[in-house]
Structures are given as structure tokens and as C-alpha cells.
Amino acid sequence: MSEANKTLLRRVYGEIWNQGKLDIIDALIAVDYEGHYLNPDLPAGREGFRQYVKMIRAGFPDAHFTIEDMLAAGDKVVTRYTVRGTHQGALMGIPPTGRAIEATGIGISRIANGQLVESWAEYDQLKILTQVGVVSPLGEGV
């Protein structure tokens, strides 16, 4: 089961996030999906996941997630990743800057019945905001 769960997550990162294949979301993401990192303004469930992917890919259309480590136990998969991309579109009120970003993150995903049903994610938001120029680097100004 653990290998099948890891394969599912590789598809989520590779096909949905990296390639933008939104048409496979219905097959891979449960209708009642619970994302503990999603913007509270987005709808719940699978549709919220779909809108979140669209929002991130609109801001960073060339976003690419590289899986650095992946561990599976029971119904959970932990993924450590690096995301790289270029801020080419407006995102959460921040106009495009054309700047490149690179940040790391860790996601914990729960799988049931061959679909992603729940996930948590922590990623370096401060680093991303600094790289696009919204936040000054530490030590520069107050």
C-alpha cells in the first residue's frame, strides 16, 4: 500500500502541479478533500484544491516541484520538496515581478481508496515573499 500511495503523490506533484493537468484532479483528489493549508476564501473539498492549483500556477506558470525525499507509512506520505518558478502573474494581490523563486517545503498527505483525502503543508513563505521583493531581506531596514 505504501508504494501505491507514494505513486499517487508522485502523480499529484508531477502531473497536477508541474504539468498543470487539471483534468486528472477528479481521479486523484477525493471530493471531500481537506487541505489544511488552503486559502480560507477558497471552497472546501476537491474544488478548493483545483482553485488553489489554478491560483498558484497563474502566479508561477513555470512552477516546478522537485521531490527530494518521500516516506510512506500506513495511509500517510511525507514529501520534502523544492519548488522553483518565476513570478509571472498576479498572486494574492501581488503584481508579477518576473523574479525567480526557489523554496523548500514539507507536505504530509493522507490517502484513502486510492485518492488524496487530506493534506498539510509547510513551506518557506517568507523566502518566497523576499525573493519576489514584497519583503525586505533580514538586516535591510526595519
Q: pLDDT by residue (tens digit) across 66-109? A: 999 999 999 999 999 999 999 999 998 899 999 999 999 999 99
Domains and CATH numbers, the chain: 2-131 (3.10.450.50)
Mean pLDDT for all residues in the chain: 94
CA dihedral in degrees (18, 23, 27, 33; nearest 10)? 70
Q: pLDDT by residue (tens digit) across 20-77? A: 999 999 999 999 999 997 678 889 899 999 999 999 999 999 999 999 999 999 999 9
Q: Which amino acid is at 90?
A: A
Tell me what pLDDT residue 123 has: 93
Q: How many CA atoms are closer than 13 Å to the CA of 17, on its beta-carbon side?
A: 18
The answer to whether 110 and 86 are in contact (CB under 8 A) is no
Tell me what pLDDT residue 122 has: 95
Nearest alpha carbon to residue 67 among 77, 81, 55: 81
